Structure 1
Amino acid sequence: MSRTKKKRRHVSQYIQEDAGPTKAERLANPNSYESRKRKAQKDSKKPKSVYQKELEKQEAAKKQDSSDQRKGGRLADKIRKLNAEKKDD
């Protein structure tokens, strides 16, 4: 005894008259689920590559080295000199 698949008869009865908004219309609406999902996927943080992480480490090290150096001009040197003299007294 073989099993037969059930067949849908009278398919014309299953056609939906009002299927709702199309996907393009849903994406155009900023409050719809699809548009919020697409925006979240676009804005999500992407994992960085090993190469990019290494570059950022090098840039951070350079920035730290440059911030360690004293910056200033003649006025800063003058203030440092005066502070050193006050400290000695």
Structure 2
Amino acid sequence: MIGKYIADFVCLENNLIIELDGWQHKIEEVREYDNERTIFLKKEGFEVLRFWNDEVNNNLDGVIFEIVCALTPALSREERE
């Protein structure tokens, strides 16, 4: 747990949190909760990556690439895109 939150995946060594979102995260109340949670986690020093379940199922290579990029600070966001 980080504060009152349980993350899907955490890499404490790199201050990285990975969240996988299903259909319920499209509901307005859930989106607001997710936003509050992300703000808290970022204030705690974490980078938060969010992926839709469909992304993981249909574009696993792209998801892995984004995670590797987040773990490789020398690779700028422009180089990722």
Tell me the TM-score normalised to structure 2 length.
0.26
Normalised by the length of structure 1, the TM-score is: 0.24
Greater relative contact order structure (CA < 8 Å, 6+ sep): 2
Q: Which has the higher helix share?
A: 1
Higher strand share: 2
